[in-house]
Amino acid sequence: MEQTTKDILSIPELASVHGKDVDQLIILVHCVMALLFIGWTAYFFYCLVRFRKGRNPKADHHGVTGHTSNYLEVAVAIVEIILLVGFAVPLWAKVVDDFPKPEENPVNMRVIASQFSWAARYPGADGKFGKQDIHLVSGANPYGLHQLDDKLKEQDTEGKDDVTSAASEMAVPVNRPVITSISSMDVIHSFKVLSIRITQDAIPGMSIPIHFTATKTNTYVVNCAQLCGNGHSSMKAILKVLPQDQFDAWLKTKTGAVSYE
C-alpha cells in the first residue's frame, strides 16, 4: 500500500535513514488532503442541493442556524494540530536537532555554494579543518584559507591535509553518519538532494549544519532549490555515495588544498 502511494505521488528513490519518516509524513499529509478535498467537495454539493432556489425561493437573511460547519472546522483544526505536534515536530527534532555523536564516527564536510557551482571540503587525517579568515579572501584564495596565504602558511598546521573538491563533485560513505555545514559565497542558494531527502538553504555569512546517513551506493544529483541568478538551472553537482574503502580512495584523489590562481 505504501509503495503504491509512493508511485502515485512519484516520490523519488529513498536512500537515507531519516528519509522513511519524511516519506511517511508526506504520504500522511496527502491522504489527509485527499480526505479534506472529498469532504469539502461533498459539502459543497450538499449546499447546492440544500439551498437551491426551488427550495428557498425567498432569501433567509438569518441563514443556517445549526453548528455543523463549525464542528467540521474544529475537527479539521484538530487534525492539523495532530499532524503538527504528533508527526512534524518530532520529525523535525529527530532530523534537524539529533546530530550524530562523536562515538558514531561521523564524516564532517563543508559544502560551499557560489554562482553557479558547488564545492566540498573535508578535514584531513587530523579531523580538523584549516583556519579561514574573510580578510584573506581573494581570486586565488576564495575561501580565505590560511594555508593559501604566504604570510600565514606557517601558522596553520591543521589545514595542510584538508581535502577540497571544487569541481561540483562530492562524496560520502554509505551507512555512516555525515555532518555537512552549508554556506554560500554570494547569494542565497539551496542544497537539495532528492533521494537523500535533504534540503537546506545556503545563506551568505552563515554556516548551517545538517546531517544524514546515506543507505544506498549510487550517484545522485545535487540541485539548487533557490532561484539564484541566470545560471540557476545549470547549478548542479554530483554526490557519490560510496563504500568506505572507495570513499577513502576518492579522498586521496582530492588530497591537498586547491589553489585558484
pLDDT of 26 reads 87
Is the pTM here over 0.85, yes or no?
A: no
Q: How far is CA 89 from CA 11, 86, 100, 179, in A?
A: 22, 7, 19, 21
Mean pLDDT per 10-residue interval, the chain, length 261 residues: 67 89 86 88 88 77 72 84 82 78 92 92 84 76 70 64 84 96 94 94 92 95 93 94 94 62 32
Q: Which domain holds residue 152?
A: 104-253
CB atoms within 10 A of CB 22: 17
pLDDT of 261 reads 32
One domain, residues 225 and 117: yes
Residue 51 inside a domain? The answer is yes
Residue 116 grid coordinates: 553557479
pLDDT of 4 reads 66
One domain, residues 29 and 83: yes
One domain, residues 188 and 203: yes
pLDDT of 175 reads 96
One domain, residues 116 and 239: yes
**DSSP state, residue 94:** I
- Angstrom distance (rounded) from CA 56 to CA 42: 20
Roughly how many angstroms between the first and final C-alpha of the chain, as a whole number?
56
- Angstrom distance (rounded) from CA 179 to CA 212: 7
Residue 151 inside a domain? The answer is yes
- Angstrom distance (rounded) from CA 26 to CA 106: 28
CB atoms within 10 A of CB 183: 19
pLDDT of 144 reads 73
One domain, residues 79 and 114: no
Phi and psi (nearest 5°) for 221? Answer: -95, 130
One domain, residues 43 and 122: no
Residue 259 inside a domain? The answer is no
In one-letter notation, the amino acid at residue 30 is H
pLDDT of 173 reads 96
CB atoms within 10 A of CB 83: 15
Residue 27 inside a domain? The answer is yes
- Angstrom distance (rounded) from CA 114 to CA 125: 27
Domain endpoint, select from 97, 126, 147: 97
Give the total number of structural domains in the chain: 2
